[in-house]
Amino acid sequence: MEKTEALTRRLTEDLSRDPASPNVQEIVGELIAFTGECNRGTDMGENYWAVMAELYLSNPAYVEGNDKKYGAGASKFIGLAIQAFLER
């Protein structure tokens, strides 16, 4: 949890950045890789990260919780950053 929190804080430290920028995408890649390591090979499904991106963008509980914790617009930023990563 501590590393996930640290990565998410790095990801959301400047919400004015382009979610598709190389620096942001590097952090998203680290977050996705770390999540995979934590799940120790558990298959989370082909569309797991696409679904997660959608939750960050449209689920009221995710939006409210993330925006409260990381700043207004953080949930949308995270969702867009994940989507950009998946489109690469």
What pLDDT does residue 46 have?
A: 77
What pLDDT does residue 4 have?
A: 87
**Per-residue pLDDT tens over the stretch 4-63:** 899 999 999 999 999 999 999 999 999 988 887 777 766 666 788 999 999 999 999 999
- Cβ burial of 8 (10 Å; 0-12, 13-18, 19+) is middle
Helices (H), 15-47: 22-38
What pLDDT does residue 87 have?
A: 93
Residues 11 and 69: beta-carbon distance below 8 Å: no
Contacts of 59 (CB under 8 A, 6+ apart): none
How many other CB atoms sit within 10 Å of the CB of residue 78? 27
Please give the model's pTM, rounded to 2 decimal places. 0.90
